[in-house]
Structure 1
């Protein structure tokens, strides 16, 4: 038997007594099972009459360790040695309890002395509680302020160090980029509705729906008008639609220039795009400049840079009846024709010549109502009146020819 108390300062007399006890006593070897029906105290600080309380086995000295020394030597058999260690042995060391793999010099498990109650708790259902003895899910974390899980890549495997936190509190559930200034790229506020963000098995994303029918579907069921998509930027912003087969892209753009127009254009043909200005002017082609392409002003004026073609296909018409050209000519002759300016053009003073819609409607009964005149109707009326005049001219020519023949 050897003296184990290597970390205590002993008086010289005590050292002599310890040496004498060592020389006088030998290790005891039992070749049979040993049964102790009372408690057992092991260590130099055990005393005669030790008060065990409810302790069955007590280790009592300044360095308490339990060593599992595996002496296996046969190939294939595990042989790591393990140790239960209570507290560091050096001055200023930790108050802790550890499980150590002494074969490889690692400490896979440690509990520090000041650790609070229920720091780690596994209940009868295999649920793990961190800070609670009543976990209700497989891993239950409890803390008074923002319980957090940290995912830290420390660079030991050659990859750049990066740390993420996943946490939640009364304000929001969030993911924090702890490496880059604690940015918060992802948040969910309490009471967010079910399926606020839903990724389906086919990769479709639903915002407010669990059955998105497109790559992204936004759904609301408030029954009222609601903003479903908003893009904001401190400059222009745009949406790109790209055909990866043809390589063509279309842009839906909030113009970054002072005009701030909304533009729909293809990447290789901005001049062929569509332009909506803040004043309501809508232009097609011509790079959005007046006099090119088509421009529909907010006052209703339509300017085109080419010809205007209206549908007049007989296959698209019904209830076709002949007209009395003479009757139409008579109505044209009595139709008031005046010169005037639209109220919306009062500042420019642009003049026009034509009938009032009410008079035209009363005379011919065409169009949707009495406040507008279709250009195809004015063309038809003019053609019918021309035909009546041509007929009159032909008749007059016949009379002239007859009179000239009598001279």
Structure 2
């Protein structure tokens, strides 16, 4: 297969933060370093040099793919979501003729940011056949989380009749729907919701703990459901006992956290949040953090003030560990920390790219500092990164309709 070679540009940025009014005054607080989560430095204290990155086409022909993931069951299958409401299986570079799941009748994908957006397989999927999807629902566009099960006797087909809605959150705009689902190392399901859409957070959802929009939720899908809900609330959720707050909220102050990921080795959480008109950001939450972080939207957009445009109060806010201006792109697509075995020099690097331009970076902790290495441009139109069961990384490209494997040399 023909590979597109991506080199590394010869400079490194050490993130120190900027003033919230964008004037370059007093630096923002340094990002919280991870506990024992850093890659092993080379002799002399330097991180190993990053390799050049390339992309190999696995297969094409998808209709606006939005996500790709393995099932964690050792089958070697990849599952590719299509915006319209289908999940396709890829095995050994071939797409199965029948969809794993087809819920087009349940999904609206008329808006550019609507459709089937997220998929997470239960940690016990190999035994219980349970998985979860996130989509914008037909007849109103509600942000919907649903559980399905594999059809009896056929591991390559889900049972559409098994579908059970866990929540449907009304949303009056078509954009900023979030969509990422992932089980954390604690066994709980994390769900990303955007601020509900409309420019500038007109609902003020980002700072409203009574509103689940603009947040990452954390729920228990294995314990008996809480009263009035189809799931349980983890007792250590940060707002579980606060009057007037949604007990599902794990973190808030987010505009459109389209993709987040857990480092499968350390448990650290990386959150890429799509910005408004000025900055795209990446947030970091170390493993073991208690939750309750306020990532600032719509008081701040990235590391600068948004409301008000100058002199905003950033007390109590958790600032991004990395952000970039719209000189380099328009919409961040969050990736993963590479933990595969095929390319040892890439291990420990969190890869992130811009949807519009392909601008790309590798982020690595070195002690308490985050080393940000600018990479040569990735392909444009990356709608999502994804991991297979072995920790190897892939991308899916929206308009190109391709699934591609990330390689390094």
* TM range, smaller chain: under 0.3
Q: Which has the higher strand share?
A: 2
TM-score, normalising length: structure 2: 0.18
Larger-gyration structure (1/2): 1
Structure with greater contact order relative to length (CA < 8 Å, sep ≥ 6): 2
TM-score, normalising length: structure 1: 0.18
